[in-house]
Amino acid sequence: MEETAEALTAAPSLIISDLDGTLLTSADRVSSRTREVIGRAVAAGARFIPASGRPARWMLPVVEQLSITPVCVCANGAVVYDAATDRITYAAELAPAVLRRVTRAILEATAAPLARMGLGPVSFAVERTGTSAFDRASELFAVEPAYPHAWDTDEHAVETRDVLLSKPAVKLLVRHENMLSADMFELVNPIVDPADAHVTWSFHGGLLEVNVPGVTKLSGLAHALGDASGSDVGVDAVPDIDPTTVVAFGDMPNDLAMLRWAGHGFAMGNAVDEVAAATDHQTASNDEDGVARVLERWF
């Protein structure tokens, strides 16, 4: 679907884009059309910031396709990575005590409903952060023995649950391969204390992502732009940035905060219903160059 609102005025000074399901095609590629228009936008003085649920190490294949080295918002806003200097500049971590409290609450509250559905318990993994995108993945991504991977990977450590939860983590992953993420969210979100953690999702196949309270891609953007004053508390705006000069793109619930704040927040044609309903603008799908179609109006 093409953009539905009337006026798009001056060219944006800031472009923010989710990656999977948004900037990237289903083949995990940045199309030549998208790459070229982003290059023209940056050459014209606009700033481009990728904002993803991915860890920093998974940003590099995208950065290489873009031929620019942007500051990247990672882990749903819990991490900021400067691709130009290969440096993690900010990380909001869940403390071990919080990780244990949240996992205990999830297990206790979901045991009976899952049993009624004839399903076993959820399992857990954690994303930690180092200082570089080239840190050993096995030191950053750890899973418990029963964890069924959402993506094929051998770049992880296997740890008992006690060890898994004994170190700070930027993201706790809650997994059930026989459920949809939206259904898991309805089950889990009400029982996680918002003072402890924020729950969201960005992948349909039974995976929830848990971050520090208030952490979203919008709060990560504030840190990426140097406007968050070192706070780990989430934000509903970015100081000194006029949202009418910002265009943002996304397709999943973890994109909602940045899409609602941006003056021009675009839901992709493949966006989930919740995202499409929350935005004033829509564009074509990620496989139809939806991001490029919008940016080409200015660049």
User: In angstroms, rounded to a whole number, what is the distance separating the alpha carbons of residues 75 and 211?
Assistant: 8
The residue-averaged pLDDT of 47-70 equals 94
How are strands ordered across the β-sheet holding 87-91?
Answer: 71-74, 79-82, 87-91
The pLDDT tens digits of the residues spanning 214-246 come to 999 999 999 999 855 445 556 777 878 899 999
User: In angstroms, rounded to a whole number, what is the distance separating the alpha carbons of residues 46 and 38?
Assistant: 9
Lookup: tokens for 234: 């989430």
The pLDDT tens digits of the residues spanning 162-206 come to 999 999 999 999 999 999 999 999 999 999 999 999 999 998 999
pLDDT at residue 137 above 90? no
Beta pairing class for 246-250 and 14-17? parallel
Q: Are the C-beta atoms of 141 and 157 separated by less than 8 Å?
A: yes
* Residue percentage of the chain with pLDDT more than 70: 94
On average, the pLDDT of the chain sits at 92
> 136: pLDDT confidence band, cut at 50, 70 and 90?
confident
pLDDT at residue 4 above 70? no
In order, the DSSP letters of the chain are ----SS---SPPSEEEE-IIIIIS-TTS---HHHHHHHHHHHHTT-EEEEB-SS-GGGTHHHHHHHTS--EEEEGGGTEEEETTTTEEEEE--B-HHHHHHHHHHHHHHHHHHHHHTT----EEEEE---SSTTS-HHHHEEE-TTPPPSS-----EE--HHHHTTS-BSEEEEE-TTS-HHHHHHHHGGGS-TTT-EEE---TTTEEEEESTT--HHHHHHHHTT-STT--S--SS-TT--GGGEEEEE-SGGGHHHHHHSSEEEE-TT--HHHHHH-SEE---GGGTHHHHHHTTT-
pLDDT at residue 1 above 90? no
> 138: pLDDT confidence band, cut at 50, 70 and 90?
confident
The residue-averaged pLDDT of 62-68 equals 93
The neighbour count for residue 93, using CB atoms within 10 Å, is 19
User: In angstroms, rounded to a whole number, what is the distance separating the alpha carbons of residues 144 and 167?
Assistant: 14
More confident residue, 233 or 111: 111
User: In angstroms, rounded to a whole number, what is the distance separating the alpha carbons of residues 233 and 216?
Assistant: 10
User: In angstroms, rounded to a whole number, what is the distance separating the alpha carbons of residues 104 and 81?
Assistant: 31
Q: Please give the pLDDT value at position 149.
A: 83
pLDDT at residue 128 above 80? yes
The pLDDT tens digits of the residues spanning 241-296 come to 899 999 999 999 999 999 999 999 999 999 999 999 999 899 999 999 999 999 99
User: In angstroms, rounded to a whole number, what is the distance separating the alpha carbons of residues 218 and 261?
Assistant: 8
Q: Please give the pLDDT value at position 236.
A: 74
pLDDT at residue 110 above 70? yes
The pLDDT tens digits of the residues spanning 20-37 come to 999 999 999 999 999 999
> 120: pLDDT confidence band, cut at 50, 70 and 90?
very high
Lookup: tokens for 188: 């889990």
In order, the DSSP letters of 162-181 are HHHTTS-BSEEEEE-TTS-H
> What domains are there in the chain, each with its CATH number?
14-91+215-295 (3.40.50.1000), 96-211 (3.30.1240)
> 139: pLDDT confidence band, cut at 50, 70 and 90?
confident
The residue-averaged pLDDT of 137-164 equals 87
